[in-house]
Structure 1
Amino acid sequence: MKSCLVVDDSRVIRKVARNILEDLGFEVSEAANGQEALDVCRAKAFDSILLDWYMPVMNGIEFLKALRALPTGKGPIVVFCTTENDISHIQAAIEAGANEYVMKPFDSEIIQAKFAQVGLL
């Protein structure tokens, strides 16, 4: 079973994402901010990470740069999930190590299509 870490400061978004990903056959873990996610990633490797941009403590870009610097941090496929849609934000996410980008609000069809596009389904 593939694993996914959902990183978002919104409990509602984490719950929606969890339901979608579990329906797609993923084992899902959650983190409420980038620092919490980094701590979890130091203890466990994930196949994928669904990552919010704006969070307290450590935002998505800061987390992604720290993740990619870890010895095991190159492995997970990271899909940024945010309301930002301008090209500079997308470029910053890709440069930091994101594999794909999803706009909020999202639904099961969008997540399934993006995860299939990056080879997770």
Structure 2
Amino acid sequence: MPDTLQERMGVPVLLCDPAGPPVATVADALDLIGAAFLGAEVVAVPAGRLDPGFFALGTHFAGEVMQKFVNYRLRLAVVGDISRHLAASAALRALVHESNRADHVWFVPDLDALDARLAGAAPRRR
């Protein structure tokens, strides 16, 4: 299944294919941002597509990717089980907690949780 643009809870979301190419560089993240310009406000990336370096905060990869999404006024949703990464890093747990309190980057376990977040989020305007 290719990445698809869907409306979820009234919000256009680019749902990234779990079997798609890994997001291992900032350029890979920019490719997703480019695809989102077809009308998406949120990019939902399966956690399994993210390079393990994303979850190792010392690499700064997560920060670079998250900043790109903020700069382009797109929301990023990391969808899936990241408990293994959370168990290994207090810093990552803090980042996930703070991100989930804000509106730009969310870490959710599944699409139902994403829908719940979208239902409670104010509509965004570009």
- Highest CA radius of gyration, 1 or 2? 2
Q: When the two structures are superposed, what TM-score results if normalisation uses the length of structure 1?
A: 0.49
